[in-house]
Amino acid sequence: MPNMESQDSTVSRGEEIKVLANEAFKAHKYSQAIDLYTQAIELNGKNAVYWANRALAHTKLEEYGSAIQDASKAIEIDPKYSKGYYRRGAAFLAMGKFKEALKDFQQVKKICPNDPDATKKLKECEKAVMKLKFEEAIAAPESERRLVADSIDFRSIDVEQQYSGARIEGDSATLDFVKKMMDDFKNQKCLHKRYAFQIVLQTREMLQALPSLVDINIPDGKHFTVCGDVHGQFYDLLNIFELNGLPSEENPYLFNGDFVDRGSFSVEVILTLFAFKCMCPSAIYLARGNHESKSMNKIYGFEGEVRSKLSETFVELFAEVFCCLPLAHVINDKVFVVHGGLFSVDGVKLSDIRAIDRFSEPPEEAWHYLMSVARMLPLGDLFDTLGPLGDLFDTLGLMLNCYGVIHNLSMEEVLASGMGNKGAFMRFEAPELKPNIVTFSAVPHPDVKPMAYANNFLRMFS
């Protein structure tokens, strides 16, 4: 009898924690919700609902690999639990894996034949798979494909006399050009395609020459700023520059991936960041995030925005340039900066990252451990498999706590969703490199809603 009472108490406690987790989820505190669902699972790991709910929270943080694992566990526990298939299908869909998503929504339809929502999503998945098969059928073999970048001569593009926007005089962008371009963007004016091509092509050339892991040296007495996800929030990017100064050799930045998608000013963001890179390569460093990929851009809005504001050619060109972005950075042999946190496999060394041939769309297994949510982590004994890299911060706990703060205040969840909370960036001072976190509130922008260019699939699951 005592064992039965203890078991009942454990199950009851699990339900209480699930209620708290649901409340955190409703408040958009997805990391907190995941922690609470995990506690509930530890008390009662045979409850499919806990696994499916945690899968949904992972999906909200774009941790799709974890979402698929949790949803699969829910299905394993209860093969007739429709939400397990639904949430795994939604995660597959968010990754652009339409064929896998289709199988899950077929199961949802089988379990719930009269559910109109399931019927609608199944039909949309069927359309997407049909389109995908058609595109695969007409696509040229990989060996025969020619890079778009190699076919563009921006110098041959004439600039109309009546064009009054920013102009590049000479071979490269200047600070005056970048300031004029940003001011034009602020007033919702477009950059001429000649200069857009020039900026993107020159940036590609610079990025191609970089290693997959870039070492950054900050001299004593100097500072360095690291920014997380911008996600198409151009007016908040301007606010960062207003608060912290424009990128320059004396005021360098690292933008740690996810420059585009979600927010509806992604073209303005990426051209601004690339223009600064062209103006002064040491003024700005750029890392690849999970949204610098074809599958994400197709779903979350960048592809549609580029097609609307520039042209179809730019869609392919940006995809090629994104494949050239470095994957990680190390600052003064002390701070490791990567978009997706640490690794899903043991024994990874910095030399392994340096050896990655990154010039392609990323394989899923690489995405899982290199890309997900902006994180900055110190090197040292905690991650000794990365190798000896200088002194660890005196207060390791402080650095890890700072990660928690920057994660919870990331522009990904806050600004790009239009919720009006705070964003944050980190400013490091050499030689100590102890992080100073600067927070700021979202600023007003033109009345163009986030996700204005996003795929219809995403709106269906919002």
User: What residues are labeled active site?
Assistant: 291
**What is the rounded CA–CA span in Å between residue 314 and residue 268?**
13
Return the structure tokens found at 317.
């060109």
In total, the chain counts a number of residues equal to: 462
- The closest alpha carbon to 240, from 442, 99, 433, belongs to 442
- The closest alpha carbon to 48, from 72, 23, 13, belongs to 72
Return the structure tokens found at 326.
């470095």
**What is the rounded CA–CA span in Å between residue 336 and residue 287?**
12
- The closest alpha carbon to 399, from 327, 306, 331, belongs to 331
Question: Which residues fall within 8 angstroms of residue 140, CB to CB, at 6 or more apart?
Answer: none
- The closest alpha carbon to 212, from 351, 8, 393, belongs to 351
Rounded to the nearest 5°, which phi and psi values hold at 434?
A: -80, 135
**What is the rounded CA–CA span in Å between residue 437 and residue 228?**
12
Residue at 369: amino acid letter = Y
Question: Which residues fall within 8 angstroms of residue 55, CB to CB, at 6 or more apart?
Answer: 66, 67, 68, 69, 70, 71, 74, 84, 87, 88, 91
- Cα three-residue angle 55-60-63, rounded to 5 degrees: 65
